[in-house]
């Protein structure tokens, strides 16, 4: 008669297979939420950098005049004044064709009608000295081009930048909370396994096994379960991020497009499941060793 050897200790100590217990699926859900929060935080960080660049310097001058000749003359004076200012790094007059393209969704083809008084837009970006020259520019434009109106982008971008910064830190807080929750899940799973298989652990101790050897059986199995759950949640989250990214790109908003993820962000996201497995390994080892020391 052939006597089959008993199963390995780690298979007796913990449930069989990656699907036997709830921990891998709980880790998968937490990893899914963690990756979504991390992707959102990284995207918001990119958008915040773009807004910061705009807040550093950027105004738009609108020349609103029903008379096309006066409108053109005022636009020329505005452009000359801006180009002569040492604080202004770049001046761009929006061409008529570009204005027609921007207004066509609201006004239709009628925007090309020469009788329609379309305002002239001039964009100006400040240089390294910042916005210190804006008061002088506003004073001069009021004198040489009364039809010119300054649209200071910072007035409406500043509250938006504050909102994005708040959401970015909120996403970071969610990632930290998910890490703590994952660690608590691993702790509960390790303690449950220890309580369930205490008689087997006592036998291993009588056979000469040390606490570190017993802990190694637990931490190896828990790390594998955490890796399985982490990869599952990561793949699901990346699929959702891709779908949302395509939807945001279809909107055609420059602000939303600035929140896209670069290769560096994707690399950070790829490290999340590896860091999750490392966290599970460390928490499992610490929990099991601490519990074994308290055992009589």
Q: What is the mean pLDDT of each run of 10 residues along the chain (296 residues)?
A: 44 48 84 91 79 68 84 88 84 81 67 68 76 80 85 72 84 90 85 74 72 75 83 91 78 58 83 87 82 72
Annotated domain spans of the chain: 9-52+158-294, 58-152
Residues 6 or more apart from 178 whose CB is under 8 A from it? 30, 31, 33, 34, 37
Point out which residues pair with 125 in neighbouring strands. 90
Point out which residues pair with 91 in neighbouring strands. 124
What is the number of other CB atoms lying within 10 angstroms of the CB of residue 133?
18
8 A C-beta contact, residue 23 and residue 189: yes
Burial 162-199 (b: 16+ CB within 10 A, else e): eebeebbeebbebbeebbebbbebbbebbeebbeebee
Fold of 58-152: Alpha-Beta Plaits (3.30.70)
Q: Give the distance between the most distant pair of CA atoms in the chain.
A: 108
Which pLDDT belongs to residue 287? 82
Of residues 34, 6, 7, 1, the one with CA closest to residue 226: 34
Residue whose tokens read 């610490």:
286
Which pLDDT belongs to residue 9? 46
8 A C-beta contact, residue 252 and residue 198: no
8 A C-beta contact, residue 178 and residue 37: yes
**CA–CA distance, 23 with 25 (Å, rounded to integer):** 5
């Amino acid at each position: 008669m052939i006597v089959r050897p008993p199963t390995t200790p780690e298979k007796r100590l913990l449930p069989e297979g990656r699907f036997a217990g709830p921990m891998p699926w709980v880790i998968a859900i937490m990893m899914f939420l963690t990756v979504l929060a991390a992707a959102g935080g990284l995207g918001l960080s990119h958008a915040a950098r773009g807004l910061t660049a705009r807040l550093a310097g950027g105004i738009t001058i609108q020349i609103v005049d029903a008379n096309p000749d006066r409108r053109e003359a005022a636009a020329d004076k505005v452009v000359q004044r801006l180009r002569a200012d040492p604080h202004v790094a770049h001046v761009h007059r929006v061409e008529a064709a570009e204005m027609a393209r921007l207004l066509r969704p609201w006004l239709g083809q009628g925007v090309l009608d020469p009788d329609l008084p379309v305002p002239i837009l001039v964009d100006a970006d400040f240089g390294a000295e910042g916005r210190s020259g804006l008061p002088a520019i506003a004073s001069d434009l009021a004198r040489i081009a009364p039809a010119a109106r300054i649209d200071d982008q910072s007035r409406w971008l500043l509250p938006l930048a504050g909102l994005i910064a708040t959401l970015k830190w909120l996403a970071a807080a969610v990632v930290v909370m998910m890490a703590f929750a994952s660690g608590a899940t691993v702790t509960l799973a390790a303690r449950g396994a220890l309580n369930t298989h205490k008689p087997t652990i006592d036998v291993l101790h009588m056979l000469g096994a040390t606490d570190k050897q017993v802990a190694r059986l637990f931490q190896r199995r828990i790390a594998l379960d955490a890796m399985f759950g982490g990869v599952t949640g990561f793949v699901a989250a990346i699929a959702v991020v891709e779908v949302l990214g395509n939807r945001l790109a279809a909107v055609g908003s420059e602000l939303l497009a600035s929140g896209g993820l670069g290769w560096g962000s994707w690399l950070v996201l790829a490290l999340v499941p590896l860091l999750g497995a490392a966290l599970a390994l460390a928490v499992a080892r610490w929990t099991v060793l601490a519990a074994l020391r308290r055992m009589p």
